[in-house]
Every structure is written in structure tokens, then in C-alpha cells.
């Protein structure tokens, strides 16, 4: 017991780190987010004719984006979600720079009733690392 009292701060940090690790592993599932890597996203795009939603900002999009991706920045997605109604029952791959904003957007879409939305893990950075093309 004395050990615990003497080391309460490091033990607290260890517990917090463990919780954060578990959240990073299971948090998306809890929030209803389905994630795919770049290879799976490419399969969805090519074989299921998935709609690609880019939730980055305009300047990021202009510097390079996935072919035929529609830009709706994350900050404007709630206000513009009606623009996506025709994709409500279609496969959607949501993309951002690193996968964080697209995770939030995917959760928002799922909550709004979009049945087949996927977050592309790693975002455009992972897409580029996989040597896949971007268009301007």
C-alpha cells in the first residue's frame, strides 16, 4: 500500500495511458465508425463504386485529392449534410489528411442514418504512402 501512495502520480499516468490505448483500439467501434485501410478503400471505390467524401479544408483539397472526391469541410458538414442524401444507402469512403477528421465525419454520417460509411484510416497521408495517385 505504501508503494501505491508513494507512486500515485506514475501509476495514474500508467492507467490513463492504458485507457487511451484501449480507446484508440476500440473507440471507433464504440462510436459506430467502420475503418478501412487504403487497399480496402481502393477496393470499395473500384468495385462498389463508393462515393468519396473529402472533409479537409479547401487549400488541402486543392493541393491534391482522390479522383472524383467531393469536398465538404468537416466544419460545414452538419449544415450541408442534405447534399449527401442521394448517397444515404450507398458506400461512402470519408477522407481527410490523417484519418482523425474523417473519423468524426463518419460518426456524424452514421448517426444521421448513412448505412455504409467508412473512415479511411491514415487519410491522404496513408494514400500517398501507398503510392496511390492524387489529382488536382
Find the mean pLDDT for residues 63-85.
97
Are 107 and 95 found together in one domain?
yes
Are 62 and 108 found together in one domain?
yes
Confidence (pTM):
0.80
Are 74 and 100 found together in one domain?
yes
Are 20 and 40 found together in one domain?
no
Are 61 and 72 found together in one domain?
yes
Res 108: pLDDT: 95
Name, in order, each residue with C-beta under 8 angstroms of 54's C-beta and a sequence gap of 6 or more: 61, 65, 66, 69, 70, 71, 72, 95, 96
Domain that holds residue 1: 1-30
User: Which among 36, 118, 106, 100 has a CA at the least distance from the CA of 77?
Assistant: 106
Q: Is residue 134 included in any domain, yes or no?
A: no
Are 94 and 83 found together in one domain?
yes
Are 104 and 68 found together in one domain?
yes
Q: Is residue 135 included in any domain, yes or no?
A: no
**Which of 21-35, 55-69, 106-120, 121-135 bottoms out in mean pLDDT, i.e. has the lowest?**
21-35
Spatial contact of 14 and 87, defined as CB atoms under 8 Å apart: no
Amino acid at each position: 500500500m505504501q508503494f501505491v501512495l508513494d507512486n500515485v502520480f506514475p501509476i495514474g499516468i500508467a492507467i490513463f495511458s492504458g485507457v487511451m490505448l484501449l480507446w484508440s483500439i476500440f473507440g471507433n467501434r464504440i462510436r459506430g465508425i467502420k475503418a478501412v485501410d487504403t487497399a480496402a478503400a481502393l477496393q470499395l471505390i473500384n468495385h462498389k463504386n463508393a462515393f468519396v467524401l473529402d472533409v479537409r479544408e479547401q487549400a488541402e483539397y486543392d493541393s491534391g485529392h482522390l479522383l472524383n472526391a467531393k469536398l465538404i469541410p468537416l466544419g460545414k458538414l452538419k449544415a450541408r449534410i442534405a447534399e449527401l442524401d442521394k448517397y444515404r444507402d450507398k458506400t461512402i469512403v470519408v477522407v481527410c489528411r490523417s484519418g482523425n477528421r474523417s473519423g468524426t465525419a463518419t460518426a456524424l454520417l452514421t448517426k444521421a442514418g448513412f448505412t455504409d460509411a467508412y473512415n479511411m484510416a491514415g487519410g491522404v497521408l496513408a494514400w500517398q504512402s501507398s503510392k496511390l495517385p492524387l489529382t488536382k
